[in-house]
A and B are shown apart, each in its own frame.
Chain A
Amino acid sequence: MRLFPTLRHLCALLAGVCLPQIPRPAFSAPEPLPGHVRAFLDFHCADCHDSADPKGKVNLEISALDLALKTDAELLAHVHRALSKGEMPPKKKPRPVAAQQAAVLTWIDQALTHRTPPHATSLRRLNRAEYAKTITQTFALPFRIPTGFPEDSRSHGFDNVAESLSLSPPLLEAYAETATELADQLFPPPPEPTPPSQKFILPAAELSSADGYGPSSLVVDGKMRLVFRNYFSSTSKFGAQASGKYRVRFRASAVHAVPGQQVVLTAGGKDFPLPPEGVAEHELTVTLHPGEGVGFQFKTAAFGRIDANFPYKEVRDDLLKHFALQPRHVAAWLSLHEATPDSPEGTLRLKPFLSKSYELRKKTIQRAFEEEFARPDLDLSSATPEATRHLIDAMLVDKNPNGVGGTEMHFYVIPLVWKLYAEGPAVDILSLEIQGPIEPVEHFRFARARTHQTNLLGTTAARLTTPEAVEAALGRMLGKLFRRPPSAPELARYRTLLEGHRNENHSLEEAFHLALRTALISPQFLYRGSAGEEALSPHQLASRLSYFLTLGPPDEKLLLAAADGSLLQPETLRAQAKRLLSEKAAQEFVENFVGQWLGTRTIPEIMPDASLGRFGADHQRSLIKEPEQLFAEILRENGPLSDFIDPGFTHTHNSVGRQMYGLDLPPPNSKQPFALTRVTFPKGERNGGLLGMAGVMMATANGVDTQPVLRGKWFLENILGEAPPPPPESVPALTPDTRGTKTIRDLMRAHTSEESCARCHSKLDPYGFVFESFDAIGQKRDRYPASGKKKEEWAPVDTSATLPDGTLLQDSAELKRHLLADLRPFARCLAEKLFLYGAGRLPSYAERKALEKLAEESLRPQRGLHDLLLDIVSHESFRSR
């Protein structure tokens, strides 16, 4: 798209005036190295890094380089890094003369800055999340990636980097199938003729609920029995074949109705009173669409159904009411537990004989309950109101990762549910007869399709009566899908496609169906960015910014700024970025970026070992949310980057905060059992910041043991922004010694005793050792558990470590202090990660230098994360390909 070439050049010129400009180098051919560089490399490097057998596969016996080649540029950057950090030449070799080394470094720096070609982001395919959000936003309809949709691969830790977002035939096929399904929703094929009316007689025993997971309705004594209030039980063996009205006749009866209470059954959306005794027969007419059955609901049931989305308060009240009248039930329960009314919530424990193992609990809990319930000498006085309340709260809060209604919950609910089904109060459906369709009804998909058409085309296809109107609608559709106005040739081609299809005797709806299907697999829709051009057009920039900060396509305001070209001005771009960051959609950026940067997105895949302690859905959620909320707060408040390291506050779930960080917090709010609380504490401690977060520690372990090497690698990559050395081939991973005779430090001693190991591990291991006081789920520990030994005999945790520069650290708090003393590496690392995520590629050497400058500026007083992010967005490197 070249809409406003003149304006764009003008803006580029303006940009050059107000920002450090990255020079555009001329492409070069191999050229000889200057004499002083050649001599330096010969003298200091080429002995080991010779061309015959180059050490570390780095050959420095060279006389010429082609800076236009990526490999040559990378080689120079490598030399620059090793020299400037003092890693090379090795300690036992002669030291270079300082002035000579400085001259070589200057030459390399200049060569890399000015004479390497700029990096460019190649065509960037929408990843899964972006694709889903784009569909949802473009068509204003709910969309989820279908199962079996091929996964994206990641590079440099992120799933939105251009180079790794490849396209494969199965993926294209999935795109094409999705395109057809979407086109079907927007331009549905005409309905088939309504079939003749038929009568369906459904035997009562066949009327089981369509829901297999919870006991929501069951066939009892050959009848369909309902016991819950807020659950809609449908006929699983009847589905309407066509949209239409159906006549329904059913017979139902109340079972053990509560005396004095009117029993009401809802059928097909209408209420029917049932007498306390005897059978009632009712008839009604319902509108059904294909596949739909008739729903029944016991409207006046005492209980709501308990499932993952249960209304907490309602269920709690129900249970309290019910159990106030059931002291035997409560007492039987209590006798299975070690709970006392004053023990804190969430600590309800089964008696040891029941909780020996998960399997055993499953096996015996129900039977044990039944035995207790039947015991003549059961102590009913234990069922006090407080005990009842405590029991119910513990039962509702003490969730397993499946949530309430998961397996754990069923241990408690099953005895209750079974009693309800056996004894009522309940409602039985005895028989059901359905006749229809007695009158055709338009399927709701047609009304929906008209709404979707209006959203996409500006009007419904039926109203497009002139060629001009058709062209305008087509243009509007392509504009939405391409995230920019279509070019004249593009529009003309699509018009030809549309007209060609109409000339083959297809309707206008079918022609739009085809055009939409086509556009949805076109490169203009599937890819963003440009191919072969140097600069981004305003619309491409709008997409880059929008997908960066919202994961979705540009909104109207952003498209306007692109249309008039103003987006190319850094101030406008900055203002738009600021606006997007203040909106709700930016939360997706925070979640996506933080989860991938820190690796906390992988937490749900890790299976925590049960012996480490309680780990439920609240833990999992809190561990993922904590770093996100830290990032969100620093961003919102434009907080200093030092807050990532030592903020003096955290957001955590109350029971997680107590268990993981030893914070003094009240029990979680029972109305919002998953909410996180903002907690403050003195700075300078172990808690707080990225390096004190259980989620980070869990993501860098395997759920069972800690692996200091992995934590060290994580630290180098994501906090210092250094590439860790590649792992050696054919060296097996350590096998932890769970008997506790050797600690992980003993096992890792080989890393320092063998020189070949030590070269890399002296850089990696120390950053892992300081975090050894965090166990595999991030809990504080001071000893390594050893099976078969007393706690006093467990080996103590040693968190001391010596950094490569000789600094001795006692623990992670000291590492935090050490980092804070010079925050530049962290700031640079964060800036580079943000750039990588936003632009979809690694920065070039020159861009890296520019980012470094922005990062260092963000460390000045009063400046913070929000400034840094806006600086990056409005910097030339973000605006260029």
Chain B
Amino acid sequence: MNSTRRRFLGHAGTLIALPFFESLTPRAACNAPAQPQAPDGTARNLVCVGAYLGFHTPALYPSATGAGYTATPSLEPLDELRSDFTLFSGLDHRAGGGHGNWPNFLCGKKIGDVSLDQRVASRLANPARFSSLALSAGSGAPNMSFLRGSVAIPAIERPSVLYRKLFASESDRQRTDYLLRSGRSSLDFVLEDAKSLGSALNAPDRAKLEEYFTSIREVEARVGRQIARSQDPVPSVTYRLPAADPVAPNLMIECESVMFDLMALALQSNSARVLSLVLPGGGQVFTLEGKMLKNGYHALSHHGNDPEKIAELVQIDRENMRCLASFLKKLKSFPDRDGKTLLDNTLVLFGTGMGDASRHSNDDLPTLLAGGGFKHGRHLAFSRNAPEQDQRLLGDLFISMERRLGLESSSFSNASKGLDDTLL
């Protein structure tokens, strides 16, 4: 079905296949449309990243809590950004374990409840050209973003598809615009059709047709919004994509890195304000720093305390952290309104629905929160053995994040306390 998806690559242009990470230059690369103003003390954007196989927490969690911790092997790539993020341990949704329960990461206790990103996207006052974008670093991703009615949003797996969506070439834009406009006339057409279907209907038939009308009207409204937004100038960027999409599982880290770059561009150009990215994990064997690992990613996550396997697993975790660090640095280098940086105005959640893959346990989900103008620089540890009033859930963090984005939030799934006290 995707036979045309690479047409645009001709425009992206490559002289030789590599390298492709370097050409993102801040600001100059980008003629962004005007950014909406947000009240002071709030953030504008939300980025949620979820790693399917989680992290090896003994190499991630510092032994000390608070500000003066010693960087662990997995935190080391992020250490120069220490004051820009907070590491949380001991937060979770008090839900079941296993890979099957991973998708509750952004939903709370129950899989399929509206996920954090979609709760935010549906309520933001000034949505961007794309109210939200769900992404995955290559194929094999689980569901992470859910709409009302447990409808999972399929993630965009290919950087080229995302790129085209965000920075379509003139001819691609024309085509999209054409499809949207003619699509609206096609919706009008079938609506008329359905109206003529019958007047003397019984209740169930009326209900069926009503469903149809409602759906058509809602999709029409959505198309209308997109058409209105299609007049927005499309940012022109000089970013160079890889010659072929690195969607193969063993290229996940490359894909992740490109997706992070494109997310930074999307935020900077104000094309999207809510982004989610899944980092899938399967049996793929990575080649890191020119050396192929001895084991597949999934097998490594079931390390069985074998030190060799743990070493390789931590190597992958560190690669993920490196990608995150580079993303955060980029956001930090982009000046935003009010003399702040883009990172100050963007909440970046980096976590997982898997607490300990080697035991398939989803208790204690390692979580990192960066940016958004929160008070950072610490390792905050929570415990389910603490007195009731000191216990916090991952949903409590989500509450505080929603509030920071200027939204009212008093509860998220099974959480209702929030974490404002420690973050503000």
Contact yes or no, B244 A237, CB < 8 A: yes
Interface residues of A (CB under 8 A from B): 120, 122-123, 125, 146-148, 150, 162-163, 166-173, 176, 180-181, 184-185, 188-189, 191-192, 195, 198-203, 205-206, 208-213, 215, 218-220, 236-239, 241-242, 290-291, 293, 359-360, 362-363, 407, 410, 443, 445, 490, 493, 497, 501, 514, 517-518, 521-524, 526-527, 531-533
B282 to chain A, nearest CB (A): 7
Chain A positions within 8 Å of B284 at CB level? 212-213
A489 to chain B, nearest CB (A): 8
Contact yes or no, A241 B189, CB < 8 A: no
Contact yes or no, B205 A531, CB < 8 A: yes
Q: Can you name 17 extra interface pairs (CB under 8 A) apart from A120-B204, A122-B202?
A: A146-B1, A169-B214, A169-B215, A171-B215, A172-B219, A173-B222, A181-B1, A184-B3, A212-B285, A213-B249, A215-B285, A290-B9, A517-B182, A531-B201, A532-B198, A532-B201, A532-B205
In the bound assembly, the distance between CA atoms of A203 and B290 in angstroms comes to 13
Contact yes or no, B287 A219, CB < 8 A: yes
Chain B positions within 8 Å of A527 at CB level? 208
B246 close to chain A: CB less than 8 A: yes
Contact pattern, B 289-333, Cβ under 8 Å of A = 1, otherwise 0: 010100010110011111001000000000000000000000000
Nearest chain B residue, comparing its CB with the CB of A146:
B154
Chain B positions within 8 Å of A293 at CB level? 244
Contact yes or no, A148 B152, CB < 8 A: yes
Contact of A236 among B15, B153, B246 (CB under 8 A): B246
B139 to chain A, nearest CB (A): 9
In the bound assembly, the distance between CA atoms of A220 and B292 in angstroms comes to 8
Nearest chain A residue, comparing its CB with the CB of B249:
A212
Contact pattern, B 149-184, Cβ under 8 Å of A = 1, otherwise 0: 101111000000000000000010001000100110
B242 close to chain A: CB less than 8 A: yes
Most chain A CB within 10 A, of B143, B186, B296, B358, is at B186
Given contacts A168-B215, A170-B147, contact A239 B243 (CB under 8 A): yes
Chain B positions within 8 Å of A169 at CB level? 214-215, 218-219, 222
Nearest chain A residue, comparing its CB with the CB of B286:
A212
Given contacts A195-B10, A206-B18, A521-B190, contact A123 B209 (CB under 8 A): yes
Contact of A239 among B186, B202, B209, B244 (CB under 8 A): B244
Contact yes or no, A237 B243, CB < 8 A: yes
Interface residues of B (CB under 8 A from A): 1, 3-7, 9-10, 13-18, 143, 147, 149, 151-154, 171, 175, 179, 182-183, 185-187, 189-190, 192-194, 197-202, 204-205, 207-209, 211-212, 214-216, 218-219, 222, 242-246, 248-252, 282-285, 287, 290, 292, 296, 298-299, 302-306, 309, 358
Contact yes or no, A523 B212, CB < 8 A: yes
Contact yes or no, B193 A493, CB < 8 A: yes
Contact yes or no, B9 A241, CB < 8 A: yes
Nearest chain B residue, comparing its CB with the CB of A357:
B304
- Can you report 13 A-B residue pairs in the complex whose CB atoms are below 8 A from each other? A148-B153, A192-B7, A200-B243, A203-B18, A206-B18, A212-B248, A212-B283, A212-B285, A236-B244, A363-B309, A490-B193, A518-B190, A523-B212
Chain A positions within 8 Å of B219 at CB level? 169, 172-173, 176
Given contacts A180-B179, A241-B6, A531-B209, contact A150 B151 (CB under 8 A): yes
Chain B positions within 8 Å of A168 at CB level? 149, 151, 211, 215
Contact yes or no, B6 A290, CB < 8 A: yes
Contact yes or no, B244 A291, CB < 8 A: yes
Contact of B282 among A180, A208, A213 (CB under 8 A): A213
Contact yes or no, B302 A359, CB < 8 A: yes
Contact of B292 among A122, A173, A181, A218 (CB under 8 A): A218
Chain B positions within 8 Å of A123 at CB level? 205, 208-209
Nearest chain A residue, comparing its CB with the CB of B248:
A210
Nearest chain B residue, comparing its CB with the CB of A504:
B182
Contact yes or no, A236 B209, CB < 8 A: no
Contact yes or no, B154 A208, CB < 8 A: no
Chain A positions within 8 Å of B182 at CB level? 501, 514, 517
A159 to chain B, nearest CB (A): 16
Chain A positions within 8 Å of B147 at CB level? 170
Contact of B186 among A210, A359, A490, A514 (CB under 8 A): A514
Nearest chain B residue, comparing its CB with the CB of A524:
B193
In the bound assembly, the distance between CA atoms of A614 and B298 in angstroms comes to 23
Most chain A CB within 10 A, of B14, B193, B207, B251, is at B193
Question: 4 closest Cβ contacts across the A-B interface?
Answer: A148-B154, A239-B244, A212-B249, A212-B250
Chain A positions within 8 Å of B199 at CB level? 532
A68 to chain B, nearest CB (A): 11
Chain B positions within 8 Å of A213 at CB level? 249, 282-284, 296
Contact yes or no, B190 A445, CB < 8 A: no
In the bound assembly, the distance between CA atoms of A203 and B19 in angstroms comes to 12
In the bound assembly, the distance between CA atoms of A123 and B304 in angstroms comes to 55
Contact yes or no, B15 A198, CB < 8 A: yes
B378 to chain A, nearest CB (A): 34
Contact yes or no, B153 A523, CB < 8 A: no
Chain B positions within 8 Å of A410 at CB level? 283, 296, 299
Most chain B CB within 10 A, of A170, A184, A242, A533, is at A170
Nearest chain A residue, comparing its CB with the CB of B199:
A532
Contact yes or no, B3 A172, CB < 8 A: no
A163 to chain B, nearest CB (A): 7
In the bound assembly, the distance between CA atoms of A219 and B250 in angstroms comes to 12
Chain A positions within 8 Å of B245 at CB level? 239, 291
Chain B positions within 8 Å of A125 at CB level? 208
Contact of B251 among A200, A205, A212 (CB under 8 A): A212
A131 to chain B, nearest CB (A): 15
Given contacts A212-B248, A239-B244, contact A200 B190 (CB under 8 A): no
Chain A positions within 8 Å of B216 at CB level? 172
B208 to chain A, nearest CB (A): 4
In the bound assembly, the distance between CA atoms of A191 and B13 in angstroms comes to 17
Chain A positions within 8 Å of B202 at CB level? 120, 122, 532
In the bound assembly, the distance between CA atoms of A189 and B16 in angstroms comes to 29
Nearest chain A residue, comparing its CB with the CB of B145:
A148
Nearest chain A residue, comparing its CB with the CB of B251:
A236
Contact yes or no, B17 A172, CB < 8 A: no
Given contacts A208-B287, A212-B284, A407-B283, contact A147 B154 (CB under 8 A): yes
Chain A positions within 8 Å of B10 at CB level? 192, 195, 241-242
Contact yes or no, A497 B193, CB < 8 A: no
B90 to chain A, nearest CB (A): 24
Chain A positions within 8 Å of B197 at CB level? 523, 531-532
A157 to chain B, nearest CB (A): 19
Contact yes or no, B186 A521, CB < 8 A: yes
In the bound assembly, the distance between CA atoms of A209 and B200 in angstroms comes to 62
Most chain B CB within 10 A, of A150, A208, A237, A410, is at A237
Contact yes or no, B194 A523, CB < 8 A: yes
Chain A positions within 8 Å of B296 at CB level? 213, 410
In the bound assembly, the distance between CA atoms of A501 and B193 in angstroms comes to 18
Chain A positions within 8 Å of B251 at CB level? 208, 210, 212, 236
Chain A positions within 8 Å of B194 at CB level? 523
Chain B positions within 8 Å of A192 at CB level? 7, 10, 171
In the bound assembly, the distance between CA atoms of A173 and B147 in angstroms comes to 13
